[in-house]
Amino acid sequence: MQLSRLLPFLCLALFLPQLTRAQGVSVVDASEGIYLHLLRNEVEVNVENQVAVVTTRQRFYNDSDDSVRVSYAFPLPSEASATGLRWLNRGIWYDARIASEEQDDTLPGSGSSIDPSLTAHLGETPLRFYIDQWISAGDELTVELYYVQLLPYAFGSVDFSYPNGYDTIQANPVEELLFNFALTSQRTIQVIDLASHSPSSVRNDGAHASVASEQFHAIPRNDYHVRYTLDPEELGLFGFSTSLPDSMQVDDLGAGFFTFVAEPDPSNNTEVVNKVFTLIVDRSGSMSGDKIVQARNAASFTVHNLNEGDRFNIVDFSSNISQFRSEHVPFTPSNRDAALQYISQFQASGSTNISGAFGTAIPQFAAADNQTANIIVFFTDGMATTGITDTPGILTHVETLVNQTETTPLIFTFGIGSNVDQPLLSRLAADNSGLAAFLGNDELEARITEFYLRIRNPVLLDTEISFSPGVIHEVYPNPLPNLYKGQQMIVSGRYDEGGPVTITLRGTAFGIPVSYDYTLNLTSDPLANLQFLNKLWAKQKIEHLLVQYYSLGGDQSNAEEIRQEIVELSLGYGVISPFTSFQGGDVSDDQGDGGGDDGGGDGGGGSTNIEDQVELPQIATLLGNYPNPFREQTTIRLEVTDPTVHVVTIRIYNPLGQIVRVLEVPVHGPGIYEVVWDGRTQSGMAAPAGVYLYIADFGDALLAETMMLVR
């Protein structure tokens, strides 16, 4: 299984994340269900205008009588991208590096099967990382994972979920469960709520908001779910930008990175554009049981919520093709009631004739024109088994039908369960200006109804973008999605020089050309709190390239060039892709036991043997910082016991692993030493609120702790 399923990212702005996953696990034996005991879980979420940077820190304990090795597995949301991973073993931190190797999806175990509870726990897109070190009996292991995520938005509401449930993995309580969510928004924050837990604190001044939860000696059963609402009257474009210093640039595309969030304000007096709408429903045998019930309910909801002036039809398929009417019919009470009766008779049986379904549905749009929003919503739970069955053949068939019809419908595709043709559904959506989503078996009804409420009122179709002056390039997503009432567009790009730029969004709505102009001031300064923008841009470009890669097929030379470009982006910007993975920083690529079982060996090739590092004598102790949390400044204390230490270097990192400040402590023999951090970056700017990691370098040992800065 790849780290990221193909193209669930296409629906970032339209669909809520799945809430069926849970926090990371240190797996000792996946077959027997043996895991390190979770002692503590701390989650820090910093959101800038709906871009979330997440740090999750988990402390595990080896409560067995033996030393063990583990794989860390985390149920990464499909719409998130991992950007860093660290672990702490016997007082020393180790950084995982991103390597040009696909993720190893095997888990340690004595048998061939995997504990079903673990499989369900990790979901469809888990991140896995093998820690090639022994965790001794009675020792602790701390793992930190960082990822970036675009949060789903609809009609002024934004949702964030963190996979927190753990009761199927561990029956015993967890000592500490800490959750901190901090939000900064250019658009007024009206309400913020931690819907899943009783918050220990809630703050909101309109521009900054936060919620927190603390639980002690508790069993984590529920995901964390934060929802906040933004002022519905403040529509427009909100942007932010930063420039990278020369030392951090990895290409020649310009030092500047920007992201903006746009939601055009449709006039309240403008009529809603009419739709020509076809719903294609899979009723093959694999849709039996609850899935066909959900399909009937989702189809009924859609018909109930059509607008007066819309025209619609229903095409349903298995081995054979059926349809409600031979052409689109007006939405009237009598046609609505007849369609609901038709839907109620859906029964699951037979094979899956996808080509036949589109062969019936698309030609009916010949009677439509560009004055309407022409839409196909298609959902299926299986691969094509009759008619045209190969993916290229179906894509060619649909393209031919569209060209013959001369009216291009937007195609939205929904794949249900794990046995769908993801490349096919992704290409059908991408080639026809739609969106693709991949759902669990029990999500169809909720996600279809949520989706339809959002697309029923188009605002800007066939969207194009331009910039004046033309200093902006490498803009993603590409092509831009259509915009519907209550939705947003999140765009990232590069620029050469700072200054004001006019952004123009153009398209059509209600049958006439429409444009929206906005001004965005691009900065020439490196802003410490926005250095995640380079990772967000790389993430969106990688997603764009993945569409091209999978459309070509993995064995073509052009596809291989795109794959290499994805790998280079992943390595250069520190964003995990399906073709890269986390690997141990100083551990060789050989994940076997060779030479390291007793901590002997020389490590080979001039590299440092990790077990030798672990066994270094303790020459110093990090005593923490006070106060913690702090507002203005904090004092870091350390104790040195080795007279050979002369200078201790303390590097302070933000959650993305970027150095914020470097402090030096002159040492004059054994003793306790202190150094003050004034909460400022290396350039003298005030560091943003959040959790920071500080690593003290004693020459022969590295020790680390965390601290929290509040503003």
pLDDT more than 90, % of the chain:
32
> Which of 543, 558, 573 marks a domain boundary?
573
pLDDT of residue 19: 35
Write out pLDDT tens, residues 80-96.
888 889 999 888 888 88
Using DSSP bridges, classify how beta strands 174-184 and 157-162 pair: parallel, antiparallel or unpaired.
unpaired
Q: Which residues of 436-465 are buried (b: 16+ CB within 10 A; e: fewer)?
A: bbbbeeebbbebbbbbbbbbbbbbbbbbeb
Using DSSP bridges, classify how beta strands 201-204 and 189-194 pair: parallel, antiparallel or unpaired.
unpaired
The whole-model pTM stands at 0.61
Tell me if 634 is assigned to some domain.
yes
pLDDT of residue 512: 66
pLDDT of residue 586: 46
- Same domain for 365 and 470, yes or no, is no
Contact 171, 110 (CB under 8 A): no
pLDDT band at 189 (very low <50, low <70, confident <90, very high): very high
Tell me if 326 is assigned to some domain.
yes
pLDDT tops 90 at residue 329: yes
pLDDT of residue 583: 77
> Which of 456, 491, 522 marks a domain boundary?
456
Q: How far apart are CA 44 and CA 658, in angstroms?
A: 16
Write out pLDDT tens, residues 502-525.
999 988 765 568 888 999 999 998
- Same domain for 291 and 341, yes or no, is yes
CA-based nearest residue to 198, from 171, 170, 163, 225: 225
Average pLDDT over residues 175-188: 93
**Torsion, CA 683, CA 685, CA 691, CA 696, rounded to 10:** 30
Radius of gyration, alpha carbons of the chain? 27
Q: How far apart are CA 216 and CA 66, in angstroms?
A: 28
Task: Identify the three-state secondary structure at position 339.
Answer: helix
What is the total count of domains within the chain? 4
Least confident range from 69-73, 185-189, 445-449: namely: 445-449
Using DSSP bridges, classify how beta strands 256-263 and 311-317 pair: parallel, antiparallel or unpaired.
unpaired
How does DSSP classify residue 633?
-
Tell me if 604 is assigned to some domain.
no
What secondary structure, in 3-state letters, does 401-447 show?
A: HHHHHCCCCEEEEEEECCCCCHHHHHHHHHHCCCCEEEECCCCHHHH
Q: Would you list the DSSP string of 161-176?
A: EE--B-TTT--SPEEE
Average pLDDT over residues 615-626: 67
Q: How far apart are CA 273 and CA 368, in angstroms?
A: 13
Tell me if 671 is assigned to some domain.
yes
What secondary structure, in 3-state letters, does 41-76 show?
A: EEEEEEEECCEEEEEEEEEEECCCCCCEEEEEEECC
Task: Identify the three-state secondary structure at position 278.
Answer: strand
- Residue 224: CATH number of its domain: 2.60.40.3680
- Residue 633: CATH number of its domain: 2.60.40.4070
Least confident range from 198-212, 255-269, 456-470, 528-542: namely: 255-269
Contact 2, 103 (CB under 8 A): yes
Range(s) of the domain holding residue 173: 22-230
Number of helices (H), then strands (E), belonging to the chain: the values are 10, 39
Tell me if 360 is assigned to some domain.
yes
Q: Tokens 């780290």 identify what position?
A: 3
Tokens read off for 591: 């994940």
User: Which residues, 6 or more positions from 284, have their beta carbon under 8 angstroms from its beta carbon?
Assistant: 317, 318, 319, 348, 349, 350, 351, 352, 380, 381, 382, 385
Write out pLDDT tens, residues 391-423.
889 999 999 999 998 777 889 888 887 777 878
Least confident range from 272-281, 290-299, 598-607: namely: 598-607
Least confident range from 153-162, 312-321, 620-629: namely: 620-629
- Residue 433: CATH number of its domain: 3.40.50.410
Q: Which residues of 654-664 are buried (b: 16+ CB within 10 A; e: fewer)?
A: bbbeeebbebe
The whole-angstrom distance between residue 76's C-alpha and the CA centroid of its chain comes to 7
Tokens read off for 622: 């990090």
pLDDT band at 606 (very low <50, low <70, confident <90, very high): very low
Total count of residues recorded for the chain? 711
Average pLDDT over residues 698-704: 65
> Which of 230, 245, 261 marks a domain boundary?
230
pLDDT more than 70, % of the chain:
85
In the sheet with 647-653, reading across from the earlier edge strand, the strands are 659-666, 647-653, 690-697, 702-709
- Same domain for 131 and 172, yes or no, is yes
- Same domain for 522 and 477, yes or no, is yes
Tokens read off for 163: 């996979």
Tell me if 5 is assigned to some domain.
no
Tell me if 280 is assigned to some domain.
yes
- Same domain for 32 and 131, yes or no, is yes
- Same domain for 188 and 139, yes or no, is yes
CA-based nearest residue to 551, from 411, 435, 426: 426
pLDDT tops 50 at residue 498: yes
* Mean of all residue pLDDT scores within the chain: 81
* Secondary structure E strands in 77-170: 80-89, 92-99, 127-135, 140-150, 153-154, 157-162
Most confident stretch, 351-360, 679-688, 690-699: 351-360
Give the number of other Cβ atoms within 10 Å of residue 113's Cβ. 10
Q: Would you list the DSSP string of 567-627?
A: HHHHHHHT---TT-EEEESSS-S--S-TT-TTS-S--STTPPPHHHHHTSPP-EEEEEEES
pLDDT of residue 591: 31
CA angle (447 as vertex; 368, 364 as ends), nearest 5: 15
- Same domain for 330 and 364, yes or no, is yes
Contact 690, 46 (CB under 8 A): yes
Write out pLDDT tens, residues 83-140.
889 999 888 888 888 888 888 878 887 666 788 888 888 877 788 899 988 899 999 9
Q: How far apart are CA 203 and CA 205, in angstroms?
A: 7
Using DSSP bridges, classify how beta strands 581-584 and 92-99 pair: parallel, antiparallel or unpaired.
antiparallel
pLDDT of residue 344: 93
- Same domain for 289 and 303, yes or no, is yes
Tell me if 490 is assigned to some domain.
yes
- Same domain for 477 and 524, yes or no, is yes
pLDDT of residue 326: 94
CA distances from 57 to 60, 87, 142, 693, 705 (A): 10, 9, 7, 11, 12
Tokens read off for 308: 């007066």
- Same domain for 240 and 318, yes or no, is no
What secondary structure, in 3-state letters, does 686-711 show?
A: ECCCEEEEEEEECCCCEEEEEEEECC
Name the maximum alpha-carbon separation found in the chain.
91
pLDDT tops 60 at residue 478: yes
Most confident stretch, 37-41, 364-368, 488-492, 538-542: 37-41
- Same domain for 383 and 281, yes or no, is yes
The whole-angstrom distance between residue 239's C-alpha and the CA centroid of its chain comes to 20
User: Which residues, 6 or more positions from 140, have their beta carbon under 8 angstroms from its beta carbon?
Assistant: 39, 59, 60, 61, 62
pLDDT tops 80 at residue 548: no
Q: How far apart are CA 157 and CA 185, in angstroms?
A: 13
The whole-angstrom distance between residue 117's C-alpha and the CA centroid of its chain comes to 23
- Same domain for 428 and 521, yes or no, is no
CA-based nearest residue to 522, from 469, 477, 474: 469
